[in-house]
Amino acid sequence: MSRARKKRSRRRRQPKAPGSAGKRAVPPIVSRPGMLSVRRSRLHGRGVFALRRIRKGTRIIEYLGDRVSHREADRRYEHKSSQDNHTFLFIVDRSVVIDGGANGNDARFINHSCDPNCESTIDDRRVFIEAIRTIQAGDELTYDYQIGRDKGDPPDVDEIFGCRCGAAVCRGSMLWPPRRKPRLQRS
């Protein structure tokens, strides 16, 4: 096999992500064997737990599911009650939402905390969960959902999206804190 042909065949085995325009694709991380377990959580429903120590900075799992438009995500869940806070939707950008409830993986079971041990990061329009501190075996993985507020939210939206993390810094809601009104300057 010629040198050029070998080079071409290696390139074909490395798929490029849509919109990567010449950049090497980010390697897929579904989850590492023996790292995570999904089971009942004291925070909410099911949770994801570390089976072994996970070092700070580790890219743990990719958030997977159907990639849909915002309009399609709204259509899929239009029948859902406004009092229901259970969602597997993750906004990637202005045009893409990942629906973890359809073809999703274990990442959809990572619960919210106001004092999380993980964070979500977006790399090349893909969502990853990374450790922001060392996580011990048996600890539940959490990240701050930072759910946005809308003008049309019901008055009890903070109760609907109430937080049960129990952290000393708990803000009582999975929603991003409301914007404070600017204070008037006294002269």
The domain segmentation of the chain, as residue ranges, is 23-160
Higher pLDDT, 71 or 34: 71
For residue 55, what are the CA distances in angstroms to 24, 27, 50? 25, 19, 11
Contact 140, 43 (CB under 8 A): yes
Question: 111 by DSSP, 3-state: which?
Answer: strand
Residue in 159, 150, 103, 113 with CA at minimum distance from that of residue 135 = 113
Task: Give the pLDDT of residue 52.
Answer: 96
In one-letter notation, the amino acid at residue 167 is A
* Cα–Cα distance measured from residue 165 to residue 116, given in angstroms and rounded to the nearest whole number: 9
Q: Give the mean pLDDT of 63-85.
A: 85
CATH superfamily of 23-160: SET domain (2.170.270.10)
Q: pTM, whole model, 2 decimals?
A: 0.75
Which comes out higher in pLDDT, residue 24 or 162? Answer: 162
